[in-house]
Each structure stands twice: as C-alpha cells, then as structure tokens.
Amino acid sequence: MEKEKEEKLKNEIKEEVIKKIKKEIKEDDDSPGGLFIPAGVLGGMGFGFLFGNLVAGLFIGLGVGFMLFAIYEIYRSGKKK
C-alpha cells in the first residue's frame, strides 16, 4: 500500500516536471530575437554598399544585430518576472 502511494506521487511529480519543461521549450521557440542578427548583417551590408565600404558596414551591422538581440533578450527575461 505504501509503495503504491510512493509510485503515484513519483508519477505526479514526473508529469508536473514534464509539463513545466514543455512550457519552457514552447516559450523559447516563440522568440524572434535571433532574427536581429541576420537583419543587422543585411542592413549593414546595404549601408556599407551605399557608403562604399562593404566590409565595414557588414561588421557594423553584425554588431548592431548582436546588440539588439541582447537588449531584446534582457527585456524579455525581465518581463517574465
């Protein structure tokens, strides 16, 4: 009788943990933050081409993309709380 209660409790805990993990995975999949990096690269390439220095524009755009991605993730993590 005692073992049945323990098994039932273990199964309930496992189910709760699995639900929580699935919820966290779903929340992470909904993040569009990773799109800032390629958008920054493409935008930087455009400005670099416009001003005659493609490589510098590419690196500046990459840096801006990473910076926007970091700002977005910080804002998003602060909003969860």
**pLDDT by residue (tens digit) across 12-71?**
888 888 888 777 766 655 677 789 999 999 999 999 999 999 999 999 999 999 999 999
Tell whether pTM > 0.75. no
| Total domains present in the chain | 2
Comparing C-alpha atoms, which of 41, 34, 35 is closest to residue 63? 41
Residue 26 and residue 37 in one domain: no
Question: Mapping DSSP to helix (H, G, I), strand (E, B) and coil, where does residue 81 land?
Answer: coil
Question: Mapping DSSP to helix (H, G, I), strand (E, B) and coil, where does residue 15 land?
Answer: helix
pLDDT number for residue 69: 92
Residue 23 and residue 44 in one domain: no
Query: What is the token pair recorded at 54?
Result: 């493609």
Q: Domain span at residue 19? A: 1-30
pLDDT number for residue 46: 94
pLDDT number for residue 61: 95
